[in-house]
Amino acid sequence: MARTVADAAILLGALAGIDSVDAATSASRGKGLANYTTFLDPKGLAGATLGVVRKLCGFHDAVDKLLSDAIDQLKAQGASVVDRADITTLDQLGDSEEQVLKYELKSDLNRYLAQLGDTAPVHSLQDVIEFNEQHREQEMPFFGQDFFIKVQGKGSLYRKEYLDALEKSKLLMRAEGIDAVMDQFKLDALVAPTGAPAWLTDHLDGDHDLGGSSTPAAVAGYPHITVPMGFVCGLPVGISFFGRAWSEPTLIKFAYAFEQATQHRRPPRFLATAEVKG
């Protein structure tokens, strides 16, 4: 998370690489770069072919209007845009994604907390749950911790339920998902609205998340970058560029070109209320 694409590119160069205590990073050997700023090209959209994932749109009329304007900007910068480049496997994920999240949250959180030693008052997810119960008035004045309790009920990462869910999720969002639609339409990247305008948390019913585009790349483990696309009643809305594995240089190039051409970002003003216009 950064103020500009340039800042994000600098940060990525510092973050990318092999971590000896994180086996998942070994797959990036020979693919990560130390400097991504060389891809900050203000004319980077010229000649690009982008696909609009319409399955990730339609949740908010004002956001759809901003996306339409953004598509015009992409075309004005020299990109070709393929409409309805949909990831057809999105509807097949079911609860496999959530199963993976639950298993990995328990495993990773337990591993992280266990190594903190005496520097932390909790050393496992179970400790966190018990701490929250002991301090219910401060920690849970509005909502409980039912999700944590469900996560605690999961087993190890060797359980068949987890392995099957992981295999299904990767297949649907990689080979049969992002890769398939990009092959079909010969795309350089996919685009969609990042999400709806921010909302207040409802203390009775919780969040009111309308939609967004984070799921495909997150589940696949593929890169995804978002930049400002405009505002709805003073609240910022983003456009996402995402694509195949190891396509960070391409996505940075596209996002930077869009950012430089539109200059949508405004510094936060910390308004007391949204700017509703009649």
pLDDT one-digit tens code per residue, 138-183: 999 999 999 999 999 999 999 999 999 999 999 999 999 999 999 9
Question: Residue 276's pLDDT is what?
Answer: 67
Domain 5-85+187-262 = CATH 3.90.1300.10: yes
What are the backbone angles phi and psi of residue 139, rounded to the nearest 5°?
-85, -30
Q: Band the pLDDT of 23: cuts 50, 70, 90.
A: confident
Q: What is the average per-residue pLDDT within 108-118?
A: 94
**What whole-number distance in Å separates Cα of residue 70 and Cα of residue 67?**
5
Residue ranges of the chain assigned to CATH 3.90.1300.10? 5-85+187-262
pLDDT one-digit tens code per residue, 63-81: 999 999 999 999 999 999 9
- What is each CA distance from 47 to 11, 80, 180, 225, 245, in whole angstroms? 27, 7, 21, 19, 21
Side by side, the strands of the sheet bearing 49-52 are 80-82, 49-52, 189-193, 235-242, 224-232
Closest CA to 53 of 73, 91, 83: 83
Judge whether residue 237 has pLDDT over 60: yes
Instruction: Calculate the average pLDDT of the chain.
Output: 95
**Angle separating helix axes 61-76 and 248-262, nearest 10 degrees:** 100
Question: Residue 277's pLDDT is what?
Answer: 63
Question: Residue 188's pLDDT is what?
Answer: 98
Judge whether residue 96 has pLDDT over 60: yes
**What whole-number distance in Å separates Cα of residue 155 and Cα of residue 265?**
44
Say which residue the tokens 């309805």 belong to.
84
